[in-house]
Amino acid sequence: MATTPAAGQRRDRSRSAPAPLPAPGAAREWLATMLLIRRFEERAGELYAKAKIGGFLHLAIGEEATIVGAARALRDADYLISTYRSHGHAIARGTPPEAVMAELFGKRDGCSRGRGGSMHMFDLGRRFMGGYGIVGGNLPIAAGFGLSAELLRTDDATLCMFGDGASNQGTFGETMNLAALWRLPVVFMVTNNQFGMGTALARHSAVTDLQRKGESFGVPGVRCDGMDVADTHAVVGDALARAREDRQPVLVEAITYRFRGHSMADPEEYRTREQVAEWRRRDPIALWSQRLVDERVIDEADVEELDRQAVAKVDEAVAFADASPFPAPESLYDDVYVLGDQLRGWYSVDERGPEPHRGEREREMPAEEIPAREIYDRHAAGPHEGADERPADEAQDAGERAHDGERDG
């Protein structure tokens, strides 16, 4: 991963010139990762329409530069924590696309073992500390990572990403205040994609200059062009250096846009096609590949090759997810608690039998005797029941969008 600029070399934020290009290898890798996220998200949308993926699905198409630029400013030991829109964050952090896709499929080999789904990706080994389903819920947790770094005297910084909508939650102000008060090494990054679900920024936030929202709590703000991976990388790198070395938490606002709806269940009646088209002209992948071609870092053929590789990786991820088994029924009660000498089990009750059990009973039973085995088998056999119950416009929306020509964009 790219290294953080040293304190003495912090970038002048006068913004007169574009951020300098990184080394050719890094420039190429950023493009490859953005393409991988784009192709991954497109395929996820298609598979959602085919009911291979359940629940909600929030795609980050359009936000790839924000994700990759920020993630590449981190050291390996730094913590990244994100939201329910986090497939790309996991991939950028190095989680294999296979594990992310398997998680979307609810499979055993998913990065959260099929317990979390789209909104709750996690990869401790790569210090991707999770997608979180509650808007604003991840901010205090991020500050907790910073507190651990403080108490354990490590050099690890935390990057906490959240959306513009989360800046209205109580946890935003509470966490800014505490992080500044205790001088925690945390960078807060608001991914301003212009909408809190379907409510436009100006309709949900009195202050629309979001980088300023931390000022009164003692958290200075900076802004980056979230459609420009190099600018995002430079600004987040500066912010991480301030957090790490000066113990000054910083709020970074990334100006970006999601080209798809909030989730697959979004008819998008709150914005115009013209606005979407306008933003698509600043497609972060097109911008970056064009710059690299213009500056002769790569050529058009390289871009096409990287794209082919991205599609191939997604193909492999889908094949892997398809082949992975569902988590075994006897694993239902695994990991509710850490069992050990102090806690050997707990009394619980559920609908599967009249007798209370201690949570571990399933593991001791022959598989065929597991209560509800028949229901499990039925759902493991094919698309789940809930698939037919999706609103018609949603399924239609997903189907149409899967063919709206984005692959050429």
Q: Which residues of the chain form contacts with other proteins (CB under 8 A)?
A: 79, 110-116, 120, 122-124, 129-130, 132-134, 137, 139-152, 170-171, 174-175, 177-178, 181-182, 334-338, 340, 342-349, 354-356, 358
Give 116 or 237: the residue with its C-beta nearer to other proteins: 116
CB of 140 to other proteins, least distance (A): 2
Q: Per DSSP, what are the bridge partners of residue 196?
A: 199
CB of 346 to other proteins, least distance (A): 4
CB of 214 to other proteins, least distance (A): 14
**C-beta separation of 26 from 97 below 8 A:** no
Please name the residue that has the structure tokens 């590449």.
Answer: 72
Reference 183, options 138, 236, 249; nearest CA is 249
Give the integer Cα–Cα distance in Å for 244 and 146: 10
CB of 295 to other proteins, least distance (A): 40
Give the integer Cα–Cα distance in Å for 189 and 212: 12
CB of 332 to other proteins, least distance (A): 10
Give 137 or 399: the residue with its C-beta nearer to other proteins: 137
> Which residue type is seen at 211?
Q
Give 8 or 340: the residue with its C-beta nearer to other proteins: 340
Please name the residue that has the structure tokens 């490859």.
Answer: 32
Give 88 or 117: the residue with its C-beta nearer to other proteins: 117
Give 62 or 131: the residue with its C-beta nearer to other proteins: 131
Which residues have CB under 8 Å from 309's CB, separation 6+?
32, 35
Query: CA-CA distances (angstroms) from residue 188 to 8, 90, 173?
Result: 22, 18, 12
Give 140 or 198: the residue with its C-beta nearer to other proteins: 140
Reference 292, options 17, 20, 72, 14; nearest CA is 20
Please name the residue that has the structure tokens 């970074």.
Answer: 252
User: How many other CB atoms sit within 10 Å of the CB of residue 217?
Assistant: 18
3-state secondary structure of 267: coil
Q: How is residue 408 written in tokens?
A: 């050429």
Give 109 or 164: the residue with its C-beta nearer to other proteins: 109
Give the integer Cα–Cα distance in Å for 69 and 233: 4
Give 63 or 109: the residue with its C-beta nearer to other proteins: 109
3-state secondary structure of 188: strand
CB of 143 to other proteins, least distance (A): 5
CB of 170 to other proteins, least distance (A): 7
User: At 48, which helix (H) or strand (E)?
Assistant: helix 24-49
Q: Give every strand in the sheet of 79-81, ordered side by side.
A: 79-81, 158-163, 186-192, 250-255, 221-225
**C-beta separation of 218 from 181 below 8 A:** yes
Give 35 or 142: the residue with its C-beta nearer to other proteins: 142
CB of 111 to other proteins, least distance (A): 7
